[in-house]
Structure 1
Amino acid sequence: MSLDVIAFAVTSAIMLLAAIGVIKFKEIVRAALMLFFVFTLVGVLFLFMEAEFLAIIQVLVYAGAVVILVLFAIMLTRREGAVGYLGERVGVLKPVTVLALISALFYFVFRIGWFAPKGELHGTTKFLGQELFTKYILQFELLAILLLAAMIASIYLVRREVQ
């Protein structure tokens, strides 16, 4: 096995453990922290696929913004009482079934050999920048004007409400 496959397997295993932590933790703040780890590791998987732009967007939008939104929602809602928890009695059948399915998935993925040689990269940030500022320059400029108009309108509405 190459180093790429080993790194992918280790990252996937850690991500799987963090996803289980999202489900298993009783405290919702710890579950949100595990969710942050899952989203960050998905960004690492995007880096393994050499899609840097998607990795950056994944970490900024999901790992940053969504987890912060969840934490703010938790802190701003006051809930008194006991913490609810699903799955106190798991039993043996569910974990064995999940383990068998995951083992079969890993067996077939590594046996079939779906890892194709690398072709020309179209998802890199350099390619996206070149396409955005050459082929789609008119749409980019129109979007910039639209966003500027939205910012001016929102500032106008806020200032009018204050006065």
Structure 2
Amino acid sequence: MGRKNAGIKTVCENRKARHDYFIHETYEAGIALQGTEVKSLRAGRANLKDSYASIQNGEIFVENLHISPYDQGNIFNHDPLRRRKLLMHKAEIVKLFAKTREKGFTLVPLKIYFKQGRAKMEIALASGKHNYDKRQDLHEKAAKREIERALKDRQRY
């Protein structure tokens, strides 16, 4: 009965973030949305590409998050790229603010999902990867794939 992902529906994911950044810590934040944005999210019409989070005046915002206008929204539709406030505890925001002041750390949105009917965003404290780090990850992934393939072939006989 106690499924781990009970009541969680993923809307969109930023897969490229895990390729471009080292993920150090992840946090869950609520998103302050306008009316038709919720309907667009439920339809899965969001894009996290090139989005990032920033902290200003003790509040945390997500920038460049594209939520497509709702088809039946007419005059009540919203600006697709507007700045959206993230809802987190003050202590967490202060901690993240201190960490992002350190050299090389940034806040990157990883995914948007609905948890028990509420829109949530998973954000990560991350630092950028260099090209050689990305190549190293690709080599490790290819080696792991080769090992899996060899084991699979071995089990057939």
- TM-score if structure 1 supplies the norm length? 0.27
Between structures 1 and 2, the one with greater strand share:
2
Q: Which has the higher contact order (CA 8 A, sep 6+)?
A: 2
Structure with greater Cα Rg: 1
Between structures 1 and 2, the one with greater helix share:
1
